[in-house]
A and B are shown apart, each in its own frame.
Chain A
Amino acid sequence: MSTTLLAVQTLNGLQLGILLFLIAAGLTLVFGVMDFINLAHGVQYMLGAYLAVAGYQLTGSFWLALIIGLALALFCGLVLEFLVFRRLYDRDHLDQVLATFGVILFLNEAVKVIWGAAPLSLPAPNLLDGAIPLVNNLQYPVYRLALIVSGLGVAALLYVLVTRTRVGMLVRAGATNPDMVAALGVNIRRLFMIVFGFGTMLAGFAGIMAAPILSVEPGMGDNLLILAFVVIVVGGIGSIRGAFLAALIIGLVDTLGRSFATDIAKLALPPAAANDVGPALASMLIYILMAAVLFFRPSGLFPVRSA
Chain B
Amino acid sequence: MKRILTALAATAFAGCAALSAGAVPSKAETLKIGLLATLSGPPAVLGQHMRDGFLLGVKEADGRLGGLETEVIVVDDELKPDAAITKVQGLLERDKVDMMAGVVFSNVMMAVYRPIIESETIFIGANSGPSPIAGRGCSPYFFSTSWQNDQNHEVMGRYASDQNYGNVIVMAPNYQAGKDAIAGFKRHFRGNVVDEIYTKLGQLDFSAEIARIADEQPDAVFTFMPGGMGVNLVKQYSQAGLNGLIPFLSAFTVDETTLPATRDMAVGLYGGAQWAANLDNEANNKFVRDFENEYGYAPSLYAAQGYDAARLIHEAVKLNNGISDKQGLLATLNAAPFESVRGDFRFNSNQFPIQDFYLVQAVQRSKDVYITEAVEKVFDDVGDSYAGSCRM
Contacts and interface: CB of A to CB of B under 8 A. Distances in A.
Contact of B215 (A133, A136, A216, A280): A136
Interface in B214-242: 214-215, 217, 227-229, 231-232, 235-236, 239-242
A19 B228 CA distance: 18
B228 A255 contact: no
A263 to B, nearest CB: 10
A131 B207 CA distance: 14
Interface in B179-236: 196-200, 202, 204-205, 207-212, 214-215, 217, 227-229, 231-232, 235-236
Contacts of A119: 45, 227-228, 231, 258, 260-261
Contacts of A187: none
Contacts of B239: 124, 131, 139, 141, 143-144, 213
B263 interface: yes
Contacts of A224: 204
A16 interface: yes
B44 A112 contact: yes
B2 interface: yes
A138 interface: yes
Contacts of A144: 207, 239
B6 to A, nearest CB: 12
A156 interface: no
A58 interface: no
B1 A215 contact: no
Nearest to A122: B261
A299 interface: no
A259 interface: yes
B44 A141 contact: no
Contacts of B209: 258-259
Contacts of A258: 199-200, 208-209
Nearest to A121: B261
Contact of A215 (B174, B207, B235): B235
A113 B239 CA distance: 30
A307 B204 CA distance: 39
A204 B199 CA distance: 27
Contact of B207 (A16, A109, A124, A135): A16
B364 interface: no
Nearest to B47: A117
Interface in B318-367: none
A232 to B, nearest CB: 18
A121 B199 CA distance: 23
A223 interface: yes
A259 B240 contact: no
A275 B263 CA distance: 33
Contacts of A121: 231, 235, 260-263
B121 interface: no
Contact of B236 (A213, A219, A282): A213
A118 B229 CA distance: 13
Interface in A205-234: 212-220, 223-224
Contacts of A12: 205, 207-208, 211
Contacts, number: 146
Interface string A1-18: 010110011001101100
Contact of B196 (A133, A135, A275): A275
B245 A19 contact: no
Contacts of A13: 208
A15 B42 contact: no
Interface in A121-153: 121, 123-124, 131, 133, 135-141, 143-144
A217 B42 contact: yes
A228 to B, nearest CB: 12
Contact of A118 (B1, B210, B260): B260
A279 interface: yes
B106 interface: no
Contact of A219 (B39, B41, B245): B41
Given A136-B215, A213-B232, A118 B2 contact: no
A201 B39 CA distance: 31
B48 interface: yes
B207 A255 contact: yes
A220 B2 contact: no
A163 interface: no
B204 A117 contact: no
B145 interface: no
A259 B211 contact: yes
A82 to B, nearest CB: 23
A99 B371 CA distance: 41
Given A119-B45, A119-B258, A220-B228, A138 B235 contact: no
B257 interface: yes
A59 interface: no
Nearest to A120: B261
B228 A217 contact: yes
B52 to A, nearest CB: 11
Given A138-B211, A213-B232, A131 B240 contact: yes
A141 to B, nearest CB: 4
A123 B238 CA distance: 12
Contacts of A2: 215
A250 to B, nearest CB: 12
A2 B297 CA distance: 46
Nearest to B42: A219
| Shortest 3 CB-CB contacts between residues of A and residues of B | A215-B231, A139-B241, A138-B214
5 contacts: A118-B260, A118-B297, A258-B199, A275-B196, A283-B200
Given A109-B1, A215-B235, A256-B208, 12 more contacts: A9-B211, A116-B48, A119-B45, A124-B239, A141-B240, A213-B235, A214-B232, A215-B231, A255-B207, A255-B208, A258-B209, A279-B174
Interface of B: 1-2, 39-42, 44-45, 48, 174, 196-200, 202, 204-205, 207-212, 214-215, 217, 227-229, 231-232, 235-236, 239-242, 245-246, 257-258, 260-263, 297
Interface of A: 2, 4-5, 8-9, 12-13, 15-16, 19, 109, 112-113, 116-121, 123-124, 131, 133, 135-141, 143-144, 212-220, 223-224, 255-256, 258-259, 262, 275, 278-280, 282-283
